[in-house]
Amino acid sequence: MTRYLVRRAALLVGTLLLASVVLFLILRLLPGDPANALLSVGATPDQVAAARHQIGTDRPLPAQFGHWLSQLATLHFGDSFVSSLPVGPEIVSRLSVTVPLTLSAFVLAVVVAVPVGFLAAHRAHTWYGALAGLVSQLGIAVPAFWLGLLLVWVFALNLRVLPAGGFPPDGWSSFPDAFRALVLPVVTVALVMAASLIRYVRSATLDVLGSDHLRTARALGSSFAGAMWRHGVRNAAVPVVSVLGIELATTFLGAVVIESVFALPGLGSMLVRGIAQHDYPVIQGVLFVSTFAVLVVGFLADVAQRFIDPRLRGGLVR
């Protein structure tokens, strides 16, 4: 297992380096001049040239790339082209919204989806089993922003129990406000995430329920719960964990729509703004951090799968 972890960690670093090269090059291939985003109608050619020089886009590509890598080595992401403020602290500030949002939604989604998905499979022929399946399908069809608007309408505009959006200016220092601000966004993301998770849990459970080994275990005298726990859950969990990893990674930046609906200063909206303004350091910084996060999540999902299923441990070590 230790050897595996070392190899996997080395792979992670290598992937990250490769990603940084790709990120850097793809950005430079995009049409449009970042200097334009800084200037106004009526800007003279001199102003454009000065702006290019200031942000360094007049330098050759390898020099720009070297500069970025050397900054990265010291964990700096450079200064925004547009605001000339350092990118790193803003990413940290936005992570303080995005990470709690993503993780809480994830936990809530799992807590909801696992029992409901199990029930939908195990009691597929009862009315509530069918209902669970139907609701999850409906949940997949409903766009997240619409669900968000609906929740705002009910809980903020009508019942007035939660804020419609925003995040306190002093962040988590005013904990109750920050917590309340995240309730509706978390529920929105969690419900959408849960809807698709239910489908996976349901089909994984159906597979296990129909399997020979479970029937054999039952024939040998195990109770349903015992057989399920000993032979069912582990098998069903493997595909579900890999889907969980993907869902978590997607939500990390994919929450941008929800951030907009709830006016949250998250990482996704920072990326969208950066792209609109051709603000390379911002785009690079956000994508680097999110690539890192996604790779780590993938790594954890892998490890979790190997932990759950001993059969996976054999193959890859050699």
Partner 1 sequence: MKKQRIALLGAAVATAVALAACGSNSGGASPSSSAAADANAVVQVGSLYEPQNLDNTAGGGQGITEAFNGNVYEGLFRLTDDGKVEPLLATANTVSADGLTYTFTLRDGVKFHSGKALTSADVKYSIEKVLAPDSKSARKSSFPEIKSIATPDPKTVTVTLATRSISFIYNLSYVWIVNDQAGNLSAKEDGTGPYTLDGWKRGSSLTLKKNPSYWGTAATNGGVVFHYFTDGSALDNALLTNAVDVVTSEQNPDALAQFTDNPAYKVNDGHSTTKLLLAFNDRVAPFNDVKVRKAVSSAIDDKKLLQSIWGDHGELIGSMVPPTDPWHTDLTGVNAYDVAGAKALLAEAGHPNGFTFTLDTPNYDPHPTVAAFVKSELAKVGITVNINVITPDQWYTKVYQNKDFTATLQEHVNDRDVVWYGDPNFYWGYDNPQVTAWIKQAEQAGSEAEQTELLKKADQQIAADAASDWLYLYPQIVVASTKLSGYPVNGLNSQFYAYGIHKG
Q: Which residues bind partner 1 (CB under 8 A)?
A: 31-33, 36-44, 46-47, 50-51, 54, 82-85, 90, 93-94, 149, 152, 156-157, 160, 163-167, 169-171, 260-266, 269-270, 272-273, 276-278
Nearer to partner 1, 2 or 40 (CB): 40
Residue 36 CB, shortest distance to partner 1, in Å, is: 5
Residue 158 CB, shortest distance to partner 1, in Å, is: 10
Residue 305 CB, shortest distance to partner 1, in Å, is: 36
Separation between Cα atoms, residue 78 and residue 223, nearest integer Å: 61
Nearer to partner 1, 275 or 303 (CB): 275
Nearer to partner 1, 56 or 239 (CB): 56
Residue 157 CB, shortest distance to partner 1, in Å, is: 6
Nearer to partner 1, 51 or 208 (CB): 51
Residue 43 CB, shortest distance to partner 1, in Å, is: 7
Residue 142 CB, shortest distance to partner 1, in Å, is: 17
Nearer to partner 1, 50 or 112 (CB): 50
> Which candidate, 293, 281, 292, 294, places its Cα nearest to that of 77?
281
- CA dihedral of residues 287, 99, 144, 140 (deg, nearest 10): 90
Nearer to partner 1, 139 or 268 (CB): 268
Nearer to partner 1, 248 or 270 (CB): 270
Residue 99 CB, shortest distance to partner 1, in Å, is: 15
Residue 192 CB, shortest distance to partner 1, in Å, is: 18
Nearer to partner 1, 121 or 258 (CB): 258
Residue 200 CB, shortest distance to partner 1, in Å, is: 31
Q: What is the 3-state secondary structure (H, E, C) of the chain?
A: CHHHHHHHHHHHHHHHHHHHHHHHHHHHHCCCCHHHHHCCCCCCHHHHHHHHHHHCCCCCHHHHHHHHHHHHHCCCCCECCCCCCEHHHHHHHHHHHHHHHHHHHHHHHHHHHHHHHHHHHHCCCCHHHHHHHHHHHHHHHCCHHHHHHHHHHHHHHHCCCCCCCCCCCCHHHCHHHHHHHHHHHHHHHHHHHHHHHHHHHHHHHHHHHCCHHHHHHHHCCCCHHHHHHHHHHHHHHHHHHHHHHHHHHHHHHHCHHHHHHCCCCCHHHHHHHHHHCCCHHHHHHHHHHHHHHHHHHHHHHHHHHHHHCHHHHHHHHC
Nearer to partner 1, 114 or 186 (CB): 186
- CA dihedral of residues 24, 25, 29, 31 (deg, nearest 10): 0
CB 286 within 8 A of CB 91: yes
